[in-house]
Amino acid sequence: MANRKIVATKLRANDLILCSSNENLMAKEENSGKILPESRTDKKYNEARRTFLKQSSLLTALALAPPAVVKAAEAGLDEKVADQFEKVPLSLEINGELKKLSVEPRTTLLDLLREQLDLTGTKKGCDYGQCGACTVHADGQRINSCLSLTVMQEGKKITTIEGLATGDELHPMQAAFIEYDGFQCGYCTPGQIMSGVACIREGHANSESEIREYMSGNICRCGAYPNIIKAITAVKKGGKKV
């Protein structure tokens, strides 16, 4: 017992000496405006301590969790249940076909069309509503589908580029774009065509300058604007129903 007391006393004395020397060192560093880098030993100790705490917490959680919960997590049932709670039901008429869907509130109309319904004609360009590549019609009005939440379109009639043609017969605007070569790479073309149709329906295709103004939300990086204007003008003058 006496030896233990002596050892304990020495250890406490050493601790006091170390603490005192560390405090003096820190005071000197503070006065000089410098901070010593953490020693390698301290860094290794801190990393080992953090690892131990993480592992012990995880093991404790697993030990306390009921077996049924653990099995459900392994089978991915927790994610499936969460998906069902997070999704909301809604119905849309897309290209003349009624769709009853279940979607997350954050899902955009563009992602619904492309990822869930495989209607990939509508393109994802900037995803900020600045390029017009994602243009579709909602109840006859053109909208940027990348900025439109699907849940906000409940009960509406959505028309995409796939819904313009009647069977094998192209829509007049589609035929005009081919005739007047209103595209190059073709990536922006679906959005251009959808906006061109809306431009005529809205009564904003009475002159070249007016068409330019009301088609300004659709960007063509290939620079096919002159031919796009020719195609829209031809459809307008053709008098066919758009």
Q: How far apart are alpha carbons 195 and 102 in whole angstroms? A: 29
Q: Which phi and psi (to 5°) does residue 122 adopt?
A: -75, 120
Q: How far apart are alpha carbons 65 and 68 in whole angstroms? A: 8
Q: How far apart are alpha carbons 119 and 212 in whole angstroms? A: 28
Tokens linked to 211? 């068409």
Distance of CA 187 to the CA centre of its chain: 20
Profile the chain (242 residues) by mean pLDDT over runs of 10 residues. Answer: 43 45 48 52 68 75 66 61 74 97 95 97 96 97 97 97 95 97 96 98 96 97 97 95 90
Q: Which residues contact 18 (CB under 8 A, 6 or more apart)?
A: none
Structure confidence at residue 22 (pLDDT): 47
Structure confidence at residue 182 (pLDDT): 96
Distance of CA 216 to the CA centre of its chain: 25
Structure confidence at residue 115 (pLDDT): 96
Q: If you search the block for the tokens 């954050």, which residue do you land on?
A: 106
Tokens linked to 25? 């060192």
What order do you get walking across the sheet with 88-94 strand by strand? 97-103, 88-94, 157-159, 135-138, 141-144
User: What DSSP line would sit under 212-223, residue for residue?
Assistant: HHHTTTS--TT-
Q: Which residues contact 154 (CB under 8 A, 6 or more apart)?
A: 90, 91, 92
Structure confidence at residue 60 (pLDDT): 77
